[in-house]
Every structure is written in structure tokens, then in C-alpha cells.
Amino acid sequence: MEKEKIVGIHAVRILLKVRPFDVYEIYLSDEKSKKFSSIIDDAKKNKISIQKISNEKIYEITNVKSHQGILAIAKKKKEIHEKDLESLLKEKSKNQILLVLDEVCDPRNFGACLRICDAYNVSAVIIKDHNSVKINETVKKVAAGSAETTPIVKVKNISRVLDFLKKNGYWIYGATENAKNDINSIDFKAPVALT
């Protein structure tokens, strides 16, 4: 069984809300700290083991400096691939806004994108399954739980996916830092894919 490591208070809190059944154990640097109280409560409710660990050891295991003194070990989240896109879109029929990212490489940028997608209730993020960032501990920490709530679809060919979306009634919009309009002022007619 493949496992993943999740650090950060918000990321672990959301993990426990979304899929507590996948969490094997939680490690805390200070079990008496009030900042962990809701996590400890959720872990106890779900009969998840809590262990003591040093901050240095969390960094050694995850290579994330800003881990906030918490580490969860969980079953690796099932990946969503191009073949699953059509059924995912049918599932997410209410708010059909997609973010399509081509070759995003920085884990912090990708984590921030996921956080924004969660705030805007974006249905899914589409990335290439090669030449793109790995969904690692840093991505999940920066995403602050949004890696659990926003589906990430890995695809082989972005152009083919955009063609598929167009054929299925999606409007494709390109984003640029040189745009004259602020994204918050645009009234998009869903379904929409932002690239």
C-alpha cells in the first residue's frame, strides 16, 4: 500500500474531515498545544494513533521547514487521470469551472493555485502528468487542505483535453498578467476552462 506524508495544521485537519479512514497515524511535536486540539479530537474519534515526534525529525522525513509541528501518514490518495475526466465532469455538474495548468513546476505556486481554486469553488485542476510538479508534501502544506477538496486531473495532452472540453460546451479562456480586466469582474458563463 502506497503511503503519503501530509504536514501543516490546515492540511491535516482537512485530511481528517475528508478521508479519516485513510489516515494511519499522526505525529505531533507538542500534544499539549491548543493549536492541535481539534486534530487530536478528530484523531481520537476515528481511533487514529497519535505519536510524539521532534520538529527536526518531521523536517528530516518531509523536507518541509514550515511543517507546524504536525505530520500525518495516510494511504496515498487515488489519482484522477484523463480517462476519468468525463465522469468527473458529470459528477461536478453544478459549478463547471476548470483550471488548466500546463507544466507548472513550482510546488509552492501549485499549492497556492489549489488554495485559490478551493476559495472560488473550482470543479477541478487539470495538469500534465509529465513535466509538471509532483503532488508532494510542500504542495499539500501550501494548499492548506485544498489538495483534498479540489480534484487534480493528470492528463497526457493538454491540447487534446481542451478540444474535448470545447466539444462538450466549455468556453476556453486564457489568463495573462497583462489582462485589462480583473478576473473578479468577469461574469463567466459556465462551463469554463481557464488556461
pLDDT per residue as tens digits for the range 116-174: 999 988 999 999 998 889 999 999 999 999 999 999 999 999 999 999 999 999 999 88
pLDDT per residue as tens digits for the range 48-91: 999 999 999 999 999 999 999 999 999 999 999 999 999 988 88
Helix/strand/coil for 7: strand
Report the distance separating Cα 144 and Cα 13, nearest Å: 9
Report the distance separating Cα 50 and Cα 184, nearest Å: 42
- Going edge to edge, which strands form the sheet with 192-194? 80-81, 152-155, 124-128, 97-101, 192-194, 171-173
Cβ atoms of 148 and 15 within 8 Å: the answer is: yes
pLDDT per residue as tens digits for the range 146-161: 999 999 999 999 999 9
Sequential DSSP letters for 79-94: PEEGGGHHHHHHHT-S
